[in-house]
Amino acid sequence: MTDPTDPTDLTASAGAAVAGPDGRLRCPWALSAEDYVAYHDEEWGRPVHGDDALYERLSLEAFQSGLSWITILRRRPGFRAAFAGFRIEKVAAFNDEDRERLLADPGIIRNRAKVDATMANAKVLADWAPGELDELIWSFAPDPGAYPVPGSTTDVPAVTAESTALSKTLKKRGLRFVGPTTAYALMQACGLVDDHLAACSSRRAR
């Protein structure tokens, strides 16, 4: 069952913007858990650049697959500690001992396939030129007016032509756990698209 509070699958919690205790209108999922408020207001949908930063977001979106985003968000400090701050060069140097350490770490999601993919992706990306991941991902950002501004969460897609194309390209380049839905969640979270609702204060503020 899809988690109705998961911002990477907003179609599950249909509704218009909702006023919080401070009177600000927000996307409804932002008020479903206290941890979401700052993430919604300060991070989600704002442009993210830098190879390491995008590798982190891509890795966390992959770990989120099949889970609620709040589960990942609350464990993000643990993930950062376990994966050396998601610095590509450092994770690329992880060995079998690190793999076993990660699989025993209660501060992260101990999914063998996802741990392996995160390590393998770092090894692939370590061979890319500086800035290449950033440039590739952002090359799939649609024109700002390509899609209608969502009025409610039912208007927000889970997959787009751009996310499908991004997914195919990343897979072709050797990355794993980068399906079209994960790719679109990355695009939402990193500001390639702005899926804050029309009445959401975070959309108007930028």
Per residue, what are the HEC states of the chain? CCCCCCCCCHHHCCCCCEECCCCCEECHHHHCCHHHHHHHHHCCCCCCCCHHHHHHHHHHHHHHCCCCHHHHHHHHHHHHHHCHHHCHHHHHCCCHHHHHHHHCCCCCCCCHHHHHHHHHHHHHHCCCCCCHHHHHHHCCCCCCCCCCCCCCHHHCCCCCHHHHHHHHHHHHCCCCCCCHHHHHHHHHHCCCCCCCCCCCHHHHHC
Q: Are 170 and 183 in contact (CB under 8 A)?
A: yes
61 included as an active-site residue: yes
Spot the catalytic one: 36, 55, 69, 184.
69
44 included as an active-site residue: no
Spot the catalytic one: 36, 39, 44, 55.
39
128 included as an active-site residue: no
Spot the catalytic one: 55, 56, 61, 184.
61
Contacts of 135 (CB under 8 A, 6+ apart): none
Residues designated as active site: 39, 61, 69
